[in-house]
Amino acid sequence: MQPQFFNVINDELRGSEKTHAVTDPRTEENLWPCPIASTDDFEDAVAAARKAFTTWSRTTVAERQALLVKLAEVLEQNAGELAEILARETGKSQIVASIDVNGSIAQCLYYSQNALEDEVQFEDETTKVVATHIPLGVVGAICPWNFPLILSNIKVVASLVTGNCVILKPSPFTPYAVMKWTELSRGILPPGVFQVLNGGADLGALMTLHPGIDKISFTGTTATGKRVMASCAKTLKKVTLELAGNDACIVCADADLDRAVPSVASGGFFNAGQVCVASKRIYVHESIYDDFLARLVKEVEASYAIQEDSAAPSVFGPVSNKMQFDVVKGIIEDCRANGYNIVSGAAAAASAKPATAKGFWLPPTIVSKPPENSVLVKEEQFGPILPILSWSDEDDVVRRSNLANAGLGASVYSADLAQAERIARRLEAGGVWINQFERPNFGAFFGGIKDSGFGGEMGKQGLLSYAYTQCLHFAK
Ligand code: NAD
Q: What is the DSSP string of 252-272?
A: -TT--HHHHHHHHHHHHHGGG
| pLDDT at res. 355 | 52
pLDDT of residue 344: 86
Whether 353 has a pLDDT exceeding 80, the answer reads no
Q: Is 361 in the pocket of ligand 1 (CB under 6 A)?
A: no
User: Is residue 186 scored above 80 in pLDDT?
Assistant: yes
pLDDT at 423 over 90: yes
Gap from CA of 206 to ligand 1 centroid (Å): 15
**pLDDT, position 108:** 98
- Is any atom of ligand 1 closer than 6 Å to the C-beta of 408? yes
- Measured at the CA of 402, the angle between CA 399 and CA 408, to 5 degrees, comes to 160
Query: Which atom of ligand 1 is the closest one to the Cα of 171?
Result: 9
In tens, the pLDDT along 315-332 reads 999 999 999 999 999 999
145 lines ligand 1 (CB under 6 A): yes
Is the pTM for the entire model greater than 0.95? yes
- Looking at residue 351, its pLDDT comes to 45
Q: Is any atom of ligand 1 closer than 6 Å to the C-beta of 219?
A: yes
Helix intervals (H) in 416-470: 417-426, 459-463
Question: Of 101, 63, 61, nearest to 84 (Cα)?
Answer: 101
pLDDT tens readout for residues 43-72: 999 999 999 999 999 999 999 999 999 999
Q: Does position 189 have pLDDT exceeding 60, yes or no?
A: yes
Q: Using CA positions, which residue lies closest to atom 20 of ligand 1?
A: 204
Q: Is the pLDDT of residue 386 over 50?
A: yes
Q: Is the pLDDT of residue 442 over 90?
A: no
CB of 449 closer than 6 angstroms to any ligand 1 atom = no
Give the C-alpha separation, 186 to 204, whole Å: 23
Per-residue confidence (pLDDT) for residue 345, from 0 to 100: 72
Q: Report the distance separating Cα 117 and Cα 379, nearest Å.
A: 40
Q: Ligand 1, atom 44: nearest CA belongs to which residue?
A: 276
Which of the listed residues 208, 221, 403 should we mutate to test ligand 1's pocket, taking the one with most ligand atoms within 8 A of CB?
Answer: 221
Helix axes 61-77, 79-90, angle to 10 degrees: 70
pLDDT of residue 250: 98
Closest-lying ligand 1 atom to the alpha carbon of residue 220: 30
Kindly give, in sequence order, each residue whose CB lies less than 8 Å from that of residue 62, ignoring residues fewer than 6 positions away.
Answer: none
Q: Which atom of ligand 1 is nearest to the CA of 244?
A: 34
> Catalytic positions, please?
242, 276
Separation of 323 CA from ligand 1 center, angstroms?
A: 13
Nearest 10 degrees: CA dihedral of 113, 158, 173, 179? 70
Amino acid making up residue 371: P
- Contact of 430 with 453, CB cutoff 8 Å: yes
**Nearest-CA neighbor of 195 among 458, 16, 14?**
14
- Residue 452 Cα to ligand 1 middle (Å): 12
Q: How far is the CA of 313 from the centre of ligand 1 (A)?
A: 28
Q: What is the mean pLDDT of residues 73-79?
A: 98
- Give residue 2's pLDDT: 83
Q: What is the arithmetic mean of pLDDT over 376-387?
A: 97
Q: 212 vs 225, 237, 348, 469, CA distance in Å?
A: 20, 10, 53, 20
Q: Is the model's pLDDT at 199 over the cut of 60?
A: yes
Q: How confident is the model at residue 350 (pLDDT cuts 50, 70, 90)?
A: very low
Ligand 1 centre distance from Cα of residue 345 (Å):
28
For residue 442 and ligand 1, the question of a CB distance below 6 A is answered with: no
Residue 413: predicted pLDDT: 98
